[in-house]
Amino acid sequence: MTHRPDDQRAIALTIAIFAVAGFASTFSTRIVDPLVPTIAADLAASVKSIALLATAFALPYALIQPILGPVGDAVGKLRVMRACVAVLAASLVASAFAPDATTLFVLRVIAGAAAGGVIPLALAAIGDRVGMEGRQVAISRFLVAIILGQLAGSSLSGVLALVIGWRGVFALAAVLAGAALVAVLLAARRAAEPTGRFDVGVARARYRMLLAMPRARALFAFVFVEAAALFGLFPFAAVLLERRGAGGPAEAGLAIAGFAIGGLVYSALVRTLLRFLGMPRMIAAGGIVAALAVCALVFVGDWRLMAAAFLAMGLGFYMMHNSFQTAVTELAAQARGSATALHACFFFLGGALGPALIGAGFAYIGEGATLALAALSVAILGPVAGLILARTDPARRVDPAGTR
């Protein structure tokens, strides 16, 4: 499919609108991480209990996916996004005035569930609007906003809190969510959305259809493994640096920022990588690059070297993950929202399990063995995933000579 110039401009505008929503969503996701001690002191709560705000956000985000996906397919993805962004903005405003830790916990649960209706449905909507030949590049552009939101949320919120307080940071996040709501409203005015009604039976049938597809089951398993193996390492960056006398939480935050920078490098290189490698080989190469980066964590004794390792890890991760996201949008056009939502659910469940597995590994078999196993799992994942996706590609046509 070749898009006319006016089509290309419309696609670019659509991605820009979704980027605003994606940035606001990921910014609101990461803002609590550096503020845990500050919030705990202000609300007279323990640091341990305030740290659970991350779980309060992440679990609803994952568990709401199987509901929001089919609802988006039935009544319109932008309609669901609009409602979710509105609820996210309202919960962030209320969070800025939370009188105690319990109230803030409940509001983070609501915010997590609402944020869960932004990025997966935006990916599905991009799949609806962009042909497969340009979809991976389009999604990679959308990923830039997500990555920047992660960087800003985790790195700026701590600094901003010194000036405007943690409540001011939540208020800023609410303003960004309000801007996202305006952007989604503009997108909805330009789009023709379905006018159907949600039907539980139809939703179940779509999930049965997706789970009966070997390619879909493989994609769900791939993102679960990559999230557990790679994102599970993030909470232990500071541990590794402290044990080696190379820094603490501040240096660990800077090192982890390298992961997001690796994602930006991927976004800049994606056209070239696809041209020279193609999707299956790029996935395989991504797994190997990420695995080598994890192995480097066994030896690094300086936060700058750890940042370089995380940068390589981020590059390898997005070489795989962006490919998985693109493949998911092509599983079933009539159930694209359901597919991307279920994909996100498995990804966040893997991310939730990963720290527990890595922590248990550090405790029972040691750092080196645990990191080696994480690296091995990713090294196997990349080539295996590339091979499976190549063999199950619905567009694959093989002639008698064995060529495409």
User: Among 27, 84, 33, 78, which Cα is nearest to 55's?
Assistant: 33
User: Among 268, 269, 306, which Cα is nearest to 285's?
Assistant: 269
**Separation between Cα atoms, residue 219 and residue 393, nearest integer Å:** 12
Residue 199: helix, strand or coil by DSSP? coil
Question: Residue 190's pLDDT is what?
Answer: 62
Residue 94: helix, strand or coil by DSSP? helix
Question: Residue 189's pLDDT is what?
Answer: 65
Q: How far, in whole angstroms, is CA 7 from its chain's centroid?
A: 27
Question: Residue 218's pLDDT is what?
Answer: 93
Contact status, residue 248 vs residue 238, Cβ threshold 8 Å? yes
Q: How far, in whole angstroms, is CA 142 from its chain's centroid?
A: 11
Residue 171 identity: A
Domain 1-198 shares a fold with domain 206-392:
yes
Question: Residue 6's pLDDT is what?
Answer: 45
Q: How is domain 1-198 classified at the CATH fold level?
A: Growth Hormone; Chain: A; (1.20.1250)
Residue 299: helix, strand or coil by DSSP? coil
Residue 98 identity: A
Question: Which two tokens mark 220?
Answer: 């769900």
Residue 398: CB atoms within 10 Å: 8
**Separation between Cα atoms, residue 150 and residue 260, nearest integer Å:** 8
Residue 383: CB atoms within 10 Å: 17
Residue 336: CB atoms within 10 Å: 25
**Separation between Cα atoms, residue 330 and residue 216, nearest integer Å:** 10
Residue 326: CB atoms within 10 Å: 21
**Residues 6 or more apart from 289 whose CB is under 8 A from it?**
312, 313, 315, 316, 319
Looking at the domain covering 206-392, what would its CATH class be?
mainly alpha
- Where does residue 366 fall: left (phi above 0), alpha (psi -120 to 50 degrees), or beta otherwise? left
Question: Which two tokens mark 281?
Answer: 């080989």
Longest dimension (CA), the chain: 72
**Separation between Cα atoms, residue 157 and residue 29, nearest integer Å:** 11
**Residues 6 or more apart from 386 whose CB is under 8 A from it?**
279, 280, 281, 282, 283, 284, 287
Q: What are the two backbone dihedrals, phi and then psi, of residue 96, each rounded to the nearest 5 degrees?
A: -65, -20
- Where does residue 61 fall: left (phi above 0), alpha (psi -120 to 50 degrees), or beta otherwise? alpha
| Angle, CA 113 vertex, CA 109 and CA 119 arms, to 5° | 135
- Residue-wise burial string across 225-235, b where 16 or more C-beta atoms lie within 10 A, e elsewhere: bbbbbbbbbbb
Contact status, residue 16 vs residue 179, Cβ threshold 8 Å? no
Residue 28 identity: S
**Separation between Cα atoms, residue 245 and residue 191, nearest integer Å:** 55
Residue 8 identity: Q
Tens digits of pLDDT across the chain (404 residues): 444 444 667 677 778 888 888 888 888 887 877 677 788 888 988 877 787 787 788 888 888 888 888 887 777 788 888 899 999 999 999 999 999 999 999 999 999 999 988 888 888 878 777 776 777 777 777 878 888 887 777 667 777 788 888 899 899 999 999 998 988 887 766 665 656 666 677 778 888 888 888 999 999 999 999 999 998 887 777 778 878 777 766 677 778 788 888 988 988 898 899 889 888 999 999 999 999 999 999 888 788 898 899 999 999 999 999 889 888 888 877 777 788 888 888 988 888 788 888 888 888 998 889 999 999 999 999 999 999 998 887 765 443 333 33
Give 3-state DSSP helix, strand, coil % of the chain, rounded to 5.
85, 0, 15
Question: Residue 356's pLDDT is what?
Answer: 81
Domain boundaries, the chain: 1-198, 206-392
